[in-house]
Structure 1
Amino acid sequence: MKRGRRIRSIAVGLLAVGLLAVFVYLFVSSPSQRSSDGRCGAVAVHIQAHQGGDPLFLSPEGILDELTHHGMVLKGRPLDSIDLRGIERILSSLSVYERVEAFVAPSSSTLQIRLREKHPLFIVQDRTGKSYYVTEGRGTIAVRQGFATYLPIVSGELDLPYATSDVYDLMVALRRDSDLVDYFGQVYVDASEGIVLIPRIGRTRVIIGKTTDWAEKLRKWRIFASSVLPRRGMDAFAYVNLDYAGQIVARDRYGVQGFGRDEEGELVRLDATSVSPEPTTPEPAKVTPTLAPRPEPRPAPRPEPHPKESTAPKEKARQEKPAPPKPQSGKPQGAKSSTTKPTPTPRPASKPHKASTPTKPPTNQSKKK
Structure 2
Amino acid sequence: MSELSHRWFSRIADIDSALWQTFFSDDPLTSHAFLWALEHSGCVSQATGWQPMHLAIYQDQQLVALSPGYLKSHSYGEYVFDWAWAEAYQQHGLEYYPKWLSAVPFSPVEGHRISIKHSEPARVYQYIEQLLQDTAKQQGWSGWHVNFCSEQVAKQLAKGSAMLRLGVQFQWFNQDHHCFNDFLHSMSARKRKAIKKERAKISAANITIQWYQGEQITPAQMNLFIAFYQRTYLKRSGHLGYLNSQFFTLLQQLMADQLVLMFAKQNNQVIAATFSLKSHNTLYGRYWGASHDIDCLHFELCYYQGIEFCIANNLKHFHCGAQGEHKISRGFSPVYTYSAHAMIDTTFAAAIADYLQREQQHMAIYKQQCQALLPFKQ
Task: Place the TM-score, normalised by the shorter chain, in its bin.
Answer: under 0.3
Question: Which structure has more RCO (C-alpha within 8 Å, separation ≥ 6)?
Answer: 2
Give the structure with the larger strand fraction.
2
Larger radius of gyration: 1
Which protein has the bigger helix share? 2
